[in-house]
Amino acid sequence: MFNDFKPEEGRPVYIQLKEYLKRLITNGHLPEHTKLPSTREMSELAGVSRNTVLASYGELEQEGLVYPVKGKGHFVGKVTTEKSPEASLDWEKKLNDDVRIACDMDLMKHGVRWEKGMIAFNSIAPDEKLFDVENVKRAFLNRMAIEGQVVLNYGYAKGYKPLIDLLFHYMEVKGVDLTGKDILMTNGFTEGLDIVLSALCKKSGRIICENPTHQSALKLFRLHGYVVHGIPMEEDGVSIEQLKEALSQSDYDLAYFIPSYHNPTGIVTSSEKRMAVMNLFSHYDIPIIEDGFNEELRYSGSHFSPLLAIAGQGNNVVYISSFSKILFPGLRVGWILADRYLIEQLESVKRARTIHTSTLDQALLYQYMHDGYFEKYLKKAKAVYKRKYECAWAACQKYIPYKRLTGDGGLHLFVELEDGVDARTLLRQCYAKGVVFSPGDVFYTNGGGKNTFRLGFSRLSEAEIRLGIQRIGDTLKNMLEART
């Protein structure tokens, strides 16, 4: 005993020795009143200095695990190591249908597995090689110097004030009228959407949105028990005709749109369609959730106003966004900008569920943006992503016999094949050749999209993009030939 103590590097040895002994005591290997070796003996047995042993014994004493007897040494204190009869619950029976929905729709569990060395088009996470870690460090140290203690203690459910103010300004510059509006900070976009959904009255139990749409949103709609009605995407945004018809035929509790940079199609809704959507909804008593997804990642063309800006002082748009896909997804920071009364109510829901969003993350993001690192990074990232985007687009045009190819910027393209061509079959064949992508059906509200797939290119090199798309194209051509 004791001579099997093997401390790891880089962690204080006295803590490791304390933990080693504590484990022996709490697990019953050293019963009550057992005399511990003297500090000198232990020092030899464990191969550490006597001071280390002294420090460890001191810690154990403080925790009530050992007690000293003057002139005699240290003895093990009273620790319950008894166990109760072992319970064996059948957890499967304890869980509800929501858990099943969450598991069934969990792409990380049921998505394509890929192995190292494959060309993987299934991620739309940013390329971490672009992160300017040095400026992140700088921003962190700047903020900690200004108010380190504040950043580490409890914050407010509403969010970190300097960041909220910065975002107000950020959105106002985009043309948003802030009158009567307020901001709630959230753990990324997803929590923002979840909070709004959990607060809404369910009347018709129906949500209207673009088809296809963001899979995480679709999952949350289902988890909240909504029936989802999707309206087809045209090349410049949702079909206004079909939207109009759907609204005239059924009631909806909520609308959800991703006009800025639609996921998964990559379509940017035109100014005309934005106006048309907002004009249409001004006749209906239906809140609109606007997903600000990747508004910043356009590489060309003109400026588009968010729906929230078009709404003016109207209060029907709930704008939810984050910088995750552009900046650092490891920081979970998103925000809801909406009607002030609504935000005030949602603040209590947020507090009930997660107290508040990490102040550290918010403070770091604030400082990073305030100091101008965001713009610098965005410029660099856009230049890199733009090249990848153009490379991917050109390769798709060259190699893939598609019916429709969409994606106006961002980190992915969306491919629609001829009707009847199964993207999952294609995926299986591509997998064998070391290329994977995201089958598009998971984004569809109605079981459609079997002939579609999404190509995320953010983390691949241009050579990989070209090679991967060529392989997909070749595989597809073989598949089509075999059919005829």
Please list every residue from 272 through 301 that binds a second copy, using CB under 8 A: 274-275, 278-279, 281-282, 285, 287, 298, 300-301
Please report whether residue 111 would count as binding a second copy according to CB under 8 A: no
Side-chain-side CA neighbours of residue 390 (13 Å): 7
Please report whether residue 144 would count as binding a second copy according to CB under 8 A: yes
Please report whether residue 34 would count as binding a second copy according to CB under 8 A: no
Cβ count within 10 A of residue 335: 26
How many residues bind to a second copy according to rule CB under 8 A? 135
Distance CA 196, CA 178 (A): 19
Piece of the chain touching a second copy by CB under 8 A; list 226-234, 256-264, 312-320, 423-431: 312-320
**Which residue, 419, 432, 398, is CA-closest to 480?**
419
Distance CA 72, CA 35 (A): 9
**Which residue, 314, 318, 324, 365, is CA-closest to 345?**
318
Distance CA 340, CA 87 (A): 49
Please report whether residue 83 would count as binding a second copy according to CB under 8 A: yes
Query: What is the DSSP pairing of strand 66-69 with strand 73-76?
Result: antiparallel
Q: Give min distance, CB of 173 to a second copy, in A.
A: 5
Please report whether residue 463 would count as binding a second copy according to CB under 8 A: no
Q: Give min distance, CB of 440 to a second copy, in A.
A: 20
Q: Tokens 């993350």 identify what position? A: 361
Please report whether residue 467 would count as binding a second copy according to CB under 8 A: no
Please report whether residue 1 would count as binding a second copy according to CB under 8 A: no
Distance CA 318, CA 286 (A): 11
Instruction: Indicate which single residue of 19, 41, 234, 462 sits in contact with a second copy (rule: CB under 8 A).
Output: 19
Cβ atoms of 60 and 66 within 8 Å: the answer is yes
Please report whether residue 88 would count as binding a second copy according to CB under 8 A: yes
Q: Give min distance, CB of 40 to a second copy, in A.
A: 24
Cβ atoms of 416 and 462 within 8 Å: the answer is no
Task: Name residues whose C-beta falls within 8 Å of residue 129's C-beta, 6 or more positions apart in sequence.
Answer: none
Instruction: Kindly identify the residues of this chain, within the stretch 52-81, that bind a second copy according to CB under 8 A.
Output: 59, 62-65, 77-81
* Residue 89 vs 482, nearer CB to a second copy: 89
Task: Name residues whose C-beta falls within 8 Å of residue 446's C-beta, 6 or more positions apart in sequence.
Answer: 211, 230
The CA distances from residue 387 to 327, 395, 460, 466, in Å, are 18, 12, 11, 12
Can you read off the two tokens belonging to residue 394?
């050109």
Instruction: Kindly identify the residues of this chain, within the stretch 396-435, that bind a second copy according to CB under 8 A.
Output: none
Q: Give min distance, CB of 287 to a second copy, in A.
A: 6
* Residue 272 vs 418, nearer CB to a second copy: 272
Q: Give min distance, CB of 468 to a second copy, in A.
A: 21
* Residue 95 vs 463, nearer CB to a second copy: 95
Instruction: Kindly identify the residues of this chain, within the stretch 351-370, that bind a second copy according to CB under 8 A.
Output: 351-361, 364, 370
Q: Give min distance, CB of 92 to a second copy, in A.
A: 7
Mark residues 154-193: x for contact with a second copy by CB under 8 A, - for none.
Answer: xx-x-----------x--xxxx-----------xx-xx--
Instruction: Kindly identify the residues of this chain, within the stretch 186-225, that bind a second copy according to CB under 8 A.
Output: 187-188, 190-191, 194, 198-202, 216, 219-220, 223
Please report whether residue 475 would count as binding a second copy according to CB under 8 A: no
Q: Residue 244's Cα: distance from chain center in Å? A: 32
Please report whether residue 82 would count as binding a second copy according to CB under 8 A: yes
Which 8-state DSSP code applies to residue 442? G
Distance CA 259, CA 266 (A): 10
Please report whether residue 484 would count as binding a second copy according to CB under 8 A: no
**Which residue, 228, 315, 317, 235, is CA-closest to 273?**
235
**Which residue, 406, 383, 386, 379, is CA-closest to 465?**
386
Please report whether residue 372 would count as binding a second copy according to CB under 8 A: yes
Piece of the chain touching a second copy by CB under 8 A; list 20-28, 390-398, 427-435, 468-476: 20-28
What DSSP letter does each residue of 357-401 carry, written as one string? --HHHHHHHHHHHHTTHHHHHHHHHHHHHHHHHHHHHHHHHHH--
Q: Give min distance, CB of 412 to a second copy, in A.
A: 15
Please report whether residue 126 would count as binding a second copy according to CB under 8 A: yes
Please report whether residue 329 would count as binding a second copy according to CB under 8 A: yes
Strand partners, 314: none
* Residue 6 vs 303, nearer CB to a second copy: 303
Q: Report helix, strand or coil for 320.
A: strand
Instruction: Indicate which single residue of 1, 87, 432, 482 sits in contact with a second copy (rule: CB under 8 A).
Output: 87
Q: Give min distance, CB of 337 to a second copy, in A.
A: 14
Instruction: Indicate which single residue of 1, 71, 91, 115 sits in contact with a second copy (rule: CB under 8 A).
Output: 91
Instruction: Indicate which single residue of 328, 335, 377, 389 sits in contact with a second copy (rule: CB under 8 A).
Output: 328
Distance CA 20, CA 4 (A): 10
* Residue 19 vs 41, nearer CB to a second copy: 19
Please report whether residue 33 would count as binding a second copy according to CB under 8 A: no
Please report whether residue 240 would count as binding a second copy according to CB under 8 A: no
